[in-house]
Each structure stands twice: as structure tokens, then as C-alpha cells.
Amino acid sequence: MQHQLPSSFTQMHAQNCSMQTSRRCCFAQRHPGPKATKPRSRCGLVVRAAKQNGDIAQRPVANLENGKAVSGPDLTVKLNGLTMPNPFVIGSGPPGTNYAVMKKAFEEGWGGVIAKTVSVDSSKVTNVTPRYAKLRSNDRQVIGWENIELISDRPLETMLDEFKRLKNEFPDRVLIASIMEEYNKGAWEELIERCEESGVDAFEINFSCPHGMPERKMGMAMGQDPEILQEVCGWINEKASIPVWAKMTPNITDITFPARTALNAGCEGVAAINTIQSVMGVNLKTLRPEPSVEGYSTPGGYSSVAVKPIALAKVMKIGQVIRDEFDNKKDLSGIGGVETGRDAAEFLLLGANSVQVCTGVMLHGYSMVKQLCGELQEFMSEHDFKSIEDFRGASLPYFTSHRELVKMQKENKAKRRGLANDAEWSGDGFVKETESMVAN
């Protein structure tokens, strides 16, 4: 289906151009309103059958060389002086747990890799199995994923040696160290110094792991406390000489508070969201929670496609803060439920300039980056976008208050869809009446 922008979109965007950067103004210029439907451009992409969740679907596949698309719209992104051939980044977790898997990611064409989180003393980390649980839809598609996995249990020295090896083999690719420590300035400084010596390009600070690590006052325990967060970010940014992103927890009332704190403390960017604290379910045969370890479990982190709407809302809020308070001079890495290039486009439209994938790789493999790039290019071609900066953040101006929505609808005097008021609901037609007010 060919996507068209309504004429009101162009008019509203033009009103915002005086307050937006020139890159956003070009968005309206590229879209003068509805036009005749044309055949969808494949921008030189190969279309082949790609397997997803057990189903075969036609998905565009980009031809990548060292991560860069050979043809079609330019997917290159620049972050804090770092250049990535495309915006897709391996999120910290199992897909970045050792040399072999990170090498595979670079070979397949991922724009960047964030290694699994490391700390100074890995001997304190012990994982259990099983440590994952799935939530399936009625047609057996995986829509939710819970993990109770901890940070890396491998010695720091081993991980650092592998970082060096990767940078020697892929000197032009972006490798980011995810780091976590206890409330100890000396430990943070040691970890930063040793990681920088390995040649990594940037840091992502894990202030957001929701299970296991908070028991040691790490991860989410720090990310939920703005005072501690400010102090620790100060230590980190005073010591680090490479860019620093703070990874945000969604398990907080207002994510803009820790995001603003981290950015004001000197972080070059934030990443959002980490997983959502969850209990996947209870086995109705055994009456034990899942994932069950010796009959017991613990709340874990929830991810996969079902979390995308929550992640988009958090990213939107942070995107507004970066736009309004930091003049768009901070970076935002979007995370949460990305399995297609069109998923990624939504995060980019809300201000992200990179998109991380972790659970998706665990379900579909490293080669999915070719579909991600192909689908993102397809979306860009539909709208005549030549680069990601042509549309990044372009949907942010169209969020407002409910009060304003009511005002605009009254002023527009358009015929309302569905029911006029609550008195019109009926018992017999309830489902159809509900559907009459659905937007998509």
C-alpha cells in the first residue's frame, strides 16, 4: 500500500518550520500533499522470501558492503563524531556476548555493536537456566520475551582482549562497551580506563537492568534514583574521553527525569528503553511461575514486539526533551520491539538517530539486518527521503495535549467518527461500535 500524507500534515508542518531545524523543514517540502498513487519503488533492493516467526513473507533485502547499502537511500548516521553505515545496532545482551557473535554481527552488516555489559569483577555474576520465557499469540507467534539473565559472566580481561581483536579486524566499525558497576567511584574509573585502552568507540552505561543486579544496588536501582544517577554520571564523564550514552529504565514514573539528569551531567546521549519488569506467567499444570528454576522464579525483563508502543512513548518524551532543552545536540538510541525496518522508522520519526535490536536477533538471527535496512530504505523511497536526517524527528511536532485535540476537532467542525457521546453505546452493538472509533 502506498503511504500518503494528508494535506493537513503539510500545513501543520509548515507552521512548525520556524521553530524546527532546516532538516525538518525539508520534510514538508518533500510532501506537498496527496498525489497520484505510483508503483512502489524498491530502490534497487532485492525482494526475496524472508522467514519471520515461522512465516514466509516477501521482504525487501538490502545489499550491504561493510554495513553500507550499495544502492538506494543513504542509511549513514553520525553520532558524536562516530559514523555508522546504517542505524541498526546490536543491543547489549546475548547477541554481543563474545568475539564470535560480535564478529558475526559486523560481517552481516550491523551498523554498530554494543557488547554485553561488563563489570570489574565477573566472579560475582552467576547465571541460571532456563532463563528465558516466551509469550505467544493465538497463532503461536512470539510477541513477548522475558529474561532473567545477568550481565557478562566472563572475566573482564577476556572481554577486553576480544574488544581489541574486533577493533583490529574492523577498525572502521563502531564497537560500544556497555558497563555497569556498584556505587564505587574507583571501580567506575578503573572500568572506564581499562575499556578505553581496548579501543572501544563509546560507552553505554547500564542504569537499567531490572533483575538480579538491583539486588547489588546496580542497574535499575541507580537509574531510578536521580541523585545517585547525577553523581555517578559525573564520575563517568569526568573520566571518560569517548562518548557516553546512559541507558534508561522504563520502570519509572517519568523517564524524562533520569534522561535529563544524565544529559545535564555530561552524557552525549541516552538509550531507551531497557526491558520492562515482568512476570511472564504461571504454568497452570505445575502452578509454578515461568521461567522456572528449581520450581522458583524471579521477576525479569520483558521485551519483543509487544513492548514497542511503550518504548515509542518513552522515546517520544525523551525526544521532546532533547529537542526543547538541548537544541537537538544530544543523541537518542531507540530500543524496544524492533523486528522490521518500518518499526525502526517509527523510532527515527520520534527523534532517535540509531535503533537497537537484541531480542529480534535472538529470534531471527544476525542476517535480519539486511531486511531491516531494506525495509527502512523502502519506507524512505515511498516518501522520497534521501537520508535519515530528512525525516528524523519529523513526527514529534504532532504530539499535543488532549485538551488541544478537543479544541482542534471543534474548530475543524468535521464529522466525528463513531459515537458522539457515551450515551450512544449499546450492548448488542458494542464490538462494532468500538471498531467504529479505531484509527488504524
Residue numbers annotated as active site: 209
Judge contact between 49 and 56, C-beta under 8 A: yes
Judge contact between 289 and 297, C-beta under 8 A: yes
Q: 270 forms bridges with which residues in the sheet?
A: 246, 332
- DSSP summary character for residue 369: H
Q: Which ranges of 123-249 does DSSP label H, i.e. alpha helix?
A: 156-169, 185-197, 220-223, 226-239
- Which value, to the nearest 10 degrees, does the dihedral of the CA atoms of residues 230, 235, 237, 241 take? -170
Judge contact between 22 and 111, C-beta under 8 A: no
Judge contact between 219 and 250, C-beta under 8 A: no
Read off φ and ψ for residue 348, nearest 5 degrees.
-65, -40
Residue keyed to cell 511461575: 289
CA–CA dist 160, 98 (Å, integer): 10
- DSSP summary character for residue 36: -
- DSSP summary character for residue 154: S
Which helix (H) or strand (E) segment holds residue 411: the answer is helix 402-412
- Which value, to the nearest 10 degrees, does the dihedral of the CA atoms of residues 336, 339, 345, 351 take? 20
- Which value, to the nearest 10 degrees, does the dihedral of the CA atoms of residues 369, 108, 311, 393 take? -70
C-alpha cell belonging to residue 175? 564497537
